[in-house]
Structure 1
Amino acid sequence: MIYSLADLVLTRRGLRILGRHLPCSIGKGGIRADKREGDGATPVGEHRITGMLYRPDRLAAPQPWAEPIRPGDLWSDASGDPAYNSHVRAPYPASHEVLRRADPLYDIVLVTDWNEAGEADRGSAIFLHQRRRPGFPTEGCVAFARPDLIWLARHVTLGARLIVRG
């Protein structure tokens, strides 16, 4: 496989981009090829960065294409729902994640195209975001220290490949 300098290459040891190594946390279920909703795994494969969300009350837009997270912004994790694995707005009665959190974990969110079609039980909300603390696993996302995430958000391009290797 040939990589571009702008590719994000993720292994269990961290993420490489533009010659830098960024330590990160992955899903508590490890890196898996058979990702399922609720398994806590980070899906193996080639994914694309399809968007960026950020908290405008906490920081400036890292990129001109970043979209603000507003009150009432949610992400559907209701497998089988027509809006599964997509950005939705409150009120939304099905299962979901709140994007505008009290903690800083979603101050910047890089959205991937994992299960963009919303296929039931394939998993949802695979994001790159801020970590809780070093070594603390995610529910399947990839999480970084805040300074590393800000650097990444300022350097990543829309459509960049996130290559996850097991």
Structure 2
Amino acid sequence: MSKRVAIAFTGPSNSGKTTLVEKIARVLIQERKVAIIKNDPKDKAEFDTEGKDSYKFSQTGAEVVVTSPTRTTYFSQREKTLDEIVEMIADFEILLVEGLKTLPLPRIAVFRNTMDESYFECSEAIAIDDTIDLSEYAVPDHIDILDLNDTMQIIGWIDAHAKNI
């Protein structure tokens, strides 16, 4: 099995986490197998359409897998640990995790307009744009500062800091 690494992204709602993960994945997917896990702490994500078979099946509470010629979708009614999810996906080289602050992964906090300093204690880097005035914040010395709009810089940081899993 080839080397597998993981990195996590965190930050307040509407900070640009999903956009950043999407931009990074589009670059990485050209040369590597990429997997993404997104945490949905408020249970807001919608994956299915009411009335369709997959919706009816998933409403039973069963673990449901829907296959088609182009994709396989897995609907689970049980919370999974990171290890269980990694085992399930198995075939990837880099895992991008959005959210899940409690996971012991290197973490990039994403901020626009304002920074929430409570994220500093669980982050190794911050990705910001020019809407943030760093002089207004006490960023700890151990936190790397990345340009939110420089995807290649962020990928370089990921390659240097991602955790083997």
**TM-score normalised by the chain length of structure 2:** 0.29
Kindly name which structure, 1 or 2, has the bigger radius of gyration based on alpha carbons.
Answer: 2
